[in-house]
Structure 1
Amino acid sequence: MANLLTPLLLCYLTAIFFIPALAGNPAAYKSDSDFRDAILSTTNKYRAEHKAPPLKWDQALADASLKHAKKCIFEHSGNPGGENIAAGFPDPSSVVQSWGNERDKFDFANGGFSEETGHFTQLVWKATKAVGCARVDCGRKNGARRMRGRRGVAVAQAKGGKADGWYVVCEYSPAGNVKGGYRENVQKKG
């Protein structure tokens, strides 16, 4: 009997402690204040690590983000400010972490824009003062498939640029990623 209880106990403990940790905090997508707080706290953590002042929440930017996010199309809006987009992450903090982790690919010695690091550089751009974000649950109606990656579960984008899962759009003001401004605005961690 004791031999049977050990595997059952192990399964039970795994289900209680490990599986919820993998799921992130999807509840943070449901509440406006939890969403805003998660975005701001994670954003400002990365900004502090890169010697940039904290951002303030701007509701007009959040409204512009929502207008674009409601389309569930995974592409930049063309708005004049800076913009980061993501889809399929389990919670808002994971979205910002994915942008922040692009720093591992950024060339601090030479600066400059790259598709692989543009979210990160906008995130920590020193001259940026405000952010406003929105999220829309685009579901899986666009045919995305779940994929497991090195940073957890994400949603692969379907053809045609459709966003699936939770689609997050953040607008920044003033915009970052300004040619010639990288050395001054994107600092090394520390």
Structure 2
Amino acid sequence: MILFIIFPAIIVAVTGHDCHRGKLTSLQRDIIVDEHNKYRSRLVKGNFANKDGNLMPKGKNMMEMEWDCELEISAQNWADQCIFGYSPENQREGVGENIYALGLPKDVEVFNTSAALFAIESWWTELIRSYRNNPSNKLTSSVASQDVLHFTQMAWGKTHKVGCGIAMHCDDGEAFIVVCHYAPRGNTIGELIYEQGSPCKVNKHCRTKKCSRKSGLCRK
């Protein structure tokens, strides 16, 4: 018997991301971008607590994520290698990378969209599972040692481009791998994960002078 793992219906604003050399559909790209922005929006509004049970600080100048076709291609190329490990940094200069893999019995079928949502949720859950109080909101060596670098890359305020690849054929069809690439890359020791402050309500609140009022994120 084949079991289908299906997430609840998700309504997204279709923006028509069309990457001719990519393997994902435009709808899948939209869902991935919207999930990233949903988490980032709730973060800057102060709606997430860390492992210590304290609310994360509100933020300002958090960039709204957008899809990048070249990042999708590079992420897909690495996902297709079916290696659960980071790609060489000299092959992705200035680009951050998150990886997720899961093994499943052959009688369990997972679709690409669900695989991506599994990955994104797992990365963000590092905040609740491992991230401790961090008054400076900077990525320090101590913070980096907490096994939270997938979360911090997703939450990195200056990052505004993402592209992901998914390989469903790994381990003779019994595992899948999701890889997302980010630019500009985050996770730089000594830098702010994101700026503390109030999310934007009008354009002048953003360094870019473009505010998405509903999300509180700034647009490029």
TM-score normalised by length of structure 2:
0.58
Deviations 1:128-185 (A, max 9, x none): 010111111124428xxxxxxxxxxxxxxxxxxxxx5221111100110111113x52
Match of 2:86 among 66, 70, 76: 76
Separation in structure 2 between the aligned mates of residue 94 and residue 185 of structure 1, nearest angstrom: 24
- Secondary structure in 2 matching 1:172: strand
Question: Which residues in structure 2 correspond to 1:10-21 (within 5 Å)?
Answer: none
Separation in structure 1 between the aligned mates of residue 194 and residue 131 of structure 2, nearest angstrom: 13
- Secondary structure in 2 matching 1:83: strand
What's the CA shift for 1:31? 5.1
Paired residues in the alignment total 144
Cα distance change, pair 38–175 in 1 and its aligned pair in 2 (3 A): same
- Secondary structure in 2 matching 1:63: helix
What amino acid is the match of 2:151?
A: F
What's the CA shift for 1:187? 5.9
Match of 1:174 among 162, 184, 188: 184
The yes-or-no answer on 1:35 pairing with 2:28 is yes
The yes-or-no answer on 1:87 pairing with 2:69 is no
What's the CA shift for 1:125? 0.2
Match in the other structure for 2:75? 65
Match in the other structure for 1:12? none
The yes-or-no answer on 1:109 pairing with 2:102 is no
RMSD: 2.8
Separation in structure 2 between the aligned mates of residue 108 and residue 170 of structure 1, nearest angstrom: 27
Cα distance change, pair 140–56 in 1 and its aligned pair in 2 (3 A): same
- Structure 1: runs of 5 or more not aligned: 1-18, 143-163
Match in the other structure for 2:122? 98
What's the CA shift for 1:54? 1.7
Match in the other structure for 1:9? none
Separation in structure 2 between the aligned mates of residue 63 and residue 131 of structure 1, nearest angstrom: 11
Deviations 1:54-75 (A, max 9, x none): 2010001111111111111111
What's the CA shift for 1:95? 1.1
Q: Which has the higher helix share?
A: 1
What's the CA shift for 1:34? 3.0
- Secondary structure in 2 matching 1:88: strand
Match in the other structure for 2:55? none
Say which one has the larger Rg. Answer: 1
